[in-house]
Each structure stands twice: as C-alpha cells, then as structure tokens.
Amino acid sequence: DQQVKQNSPSLSVQEGRISILNCDYTNSMFDYFLWYKKYPAEGPTFLISISSIKDKNEDGRFTVFLNKSAKHLSLHIVPSQPGDSAVYFCAASALKDNYGQNFVFGPGTRLSVLP
C-alpha cells in the first residue's frame, strides 16, 4: 500500500504558465514533506520542503502548499520554464527524535514544459 501517492504520472504545461503537481499521503504520522526534482541519468535534487506546522512555503518560483486535514500537498511552479522539465518526487517523513531519515517517496510526476 503506497503511503505517498502522486496520481498524475505526467503533466504538460506551456512555458510561462503555472505548473501544479499534487501529492497525497495516508500516514497521519508524517510531519515533514519534501519535493525532489530528477533529470535523466542524475540523482534527485532537493527542491523545497515544508513542516507540518506550516501550510505554505515559498522559494522563488516554487511554492509548496500543505493541507493536513486532507493529507494533501501541492507544488506550484510559476512561471514554468523549459528547464523545469523533469520528474518531480514528493517525499514524506515522520520525525524520530530529529534523526533520520527514512523518507517515503511517491512514484513521481513527469513535468514537460513546452516552449
């Protein structure tokens, strides 16, 4: 049973428009969430994170929203650029004395930003 779900395997967006990537989780113990971006033949790279004490975190063009009651988070990219084309993974963890971490990753969403 997948604890972290990304129900859209792929997403295409026009350059300059907003990209919205969604993630749902089932484990109510998760209290820290991250987004990773992965280009082909490279390892994932950290993009942005959010703690469960917040409902929004923003970093430049990237904003992550967390809805704890719905167990849902989303990543907004605006404006989208062709270089944003990659696979995006949502990941979650449950803090264990601040040690870690056994991140649980979703299956990923492939974003294509069309020029």
Residues forming the site for other proteins (CB under 8 A): 4, 6, 9, 32, 36, 41-46, 89, 91, 93, 95, 98-108
Find the helix or strand (DSSP H, E) in which 95 lies.
Answer: none
- Write the CA distances from 104 to 5, 35, 55, 89, integer angstroms: 10, 11, 20, 10
Query: Judged by CB, which is closer to other proteins: 40, or 115?
Result: 40
* Cα four-point dihedral sign 70, 57, 99, 86: positive
Q: How far is the CB of 13 from other proteins (least distance, A)?
A: 21
Q: How far is the CB of 74 from other proteins (least distance, A)?
A: 17
Q: How far is the CB of 58 from other proteins (least distance, A)?
A: 18
Query: Judged by CB, which is closer to other proteins: 47, or 77?
Result: 47
Residue position matching structure tokens 């972290």: 4
Q: And the tokens for 106?
A: 């979703």
| Cβ atoms of 56 and 67 closer than 8 Å | no
Query: Judged by CB, which is closer to other proteins: 70, or 97?
Result: 97
Q: How far is the CB of 43 from other proteins (least distance, A)?
A: 3
Query: Judged by CB, which is closer to other proteins: 17, or 54?
Result: 54
